[in-house]
Amino acid sequence: MSGFEEIKKDLKLLPSVRHGKANDANGIFVYLPKVSDFIKKEIDFHDQIHQDEIEVHQLNTVRNYYYHNYFLKWLYKLPQDSTILEIGSGSGFDLMPLIKQGYNVIASDISQGSVESIQETVKKKSPLYENKVAFLVADGQNLPFKDNSVDATFLVATFHHFEDQVLAFKEIKRVTKKNGLIILAMEPSRFMMRFTKLFKNSKKLRIHSSYSEADETHNGFIKSDFKKLINHNASIIKIKRVWLLLGFLHYKLEALHRIFKLKKRLKAPRLFEWLLLVLDEILLQLPIINQLNWHWIIIIQNK
């Protein structure tokens, strides 16, 4: 029995309960034994937004595709029989390329609506690989896996949503094999959170009418935060700063969309985005100026 098959076997034995209701027999495993008020708010928030994530965050643009593909390339280096866990899968945007590559994948999210949506997408777009995907509703701070279960774990714009990030990282380390990959991608910077919070009281400029405790209260990360968190527990292979000019472009276009209530989001010419991307890659190498990055990608090797 492969490691992935053993994981699925263990998931089938779970006493699955969500908000006091037994799990439905729909191929989705549920493990939420502890649900704090903070987690309940995050579940409600992500249940509401998961269907709009690709459009709202403009994930199909050059400015997003390039950096999402950047961290996915680290996962593509893994052997084909590897098992990859994504925590906070959302719309499944980053999982689908891995599924099509034939990896064993665990689509995990705290929102059952998100996981159900991913399951439907897999059935429609990648039915040949359906048996290589496990669908799980769970909190990344409390995962139903044995130690050293998966070859890699990655999170995209998810890590800052945890109530206890130290506990979450310990749990991620526990389930990831020794020398396995851990990727924290597109995490907000301190600069980004300070900038966006300038407009948090504007109803026109809010992305969602619903409320995320994490998005509203998190301060964003600076480089030293990751070094303190990871410390001697793992090795940082790469810390990459993401977006500078592209960050201002992204939020300017989004602001125009909301202020004028446009039917479709405005798109910058691809060539112009590539130009800004090249300039960003240069500017983010310069001291002081590089403090204006909007996101982080952290590539980690577990110990």
Hey, what amino acid is at 281? Answer: E
pLDDT tens digits, residue range 93-126? 999 999 999 999 999 999 999 999 999 999 998 8
**For the chain, which residues make up each domain, given as ranges?**
3-302
Contacts 24+ apart (CB under 8 A), 224-230: 226/184, 226/296, 226/298, 229/165, 229/166, 229/169, 230/169, 230/300
Tell me how far apart the terminal alpha carbons of the chain are, to the nearest angstrom: 25
Please list the alpha-helical segments (H only) found in the chain.
3-12, 37-49, 53-56, 62-76, 95-100, 112-125, 165-175, 190-197, 213-217, 223-230, 245-259, 270-283
Q: Please answer whether residues 97 and 21 qualify as being in contact, where contact means their C-beta atoms are separated by less than 8 angstroms.
A: no
- Given 3.40.50.11810, 3.90.79.10, 3.40.50.300, 3.40.50.150, which CATH number is that of 3-302? 3.40.50.150
CA distance 168 to 166: 5
- Tell me which residue has tokens 């999210």: 109
Q: Report the predicted TM-score, pTM, of the whole model to 2 decimal places.
A: 0.92
Q: How far apart are CA 16 and CA 29, in angstroms?
A: 7
Each residue's pLDDT tens digit in the chain (303 positions)?
A: 578 999 988 888 776 544 444 455 588 999 988 888 888 888 887 777 656 678 888 999 999 999 999 999 999 999 999 999 999 999 899 999 999 999 999 999 999 999 999 999 999 988 888 899 999 999 999 999 999 999 999 999 999 999 999 999 999 999 999 999 999 999 999 999 999 888 776 666 554 455 567 777 899 999 999 999 887 779 999 999 999 999 999 999 988 988 888 888 999 999 999 999 999 999 999 999 999 999 999 999 999
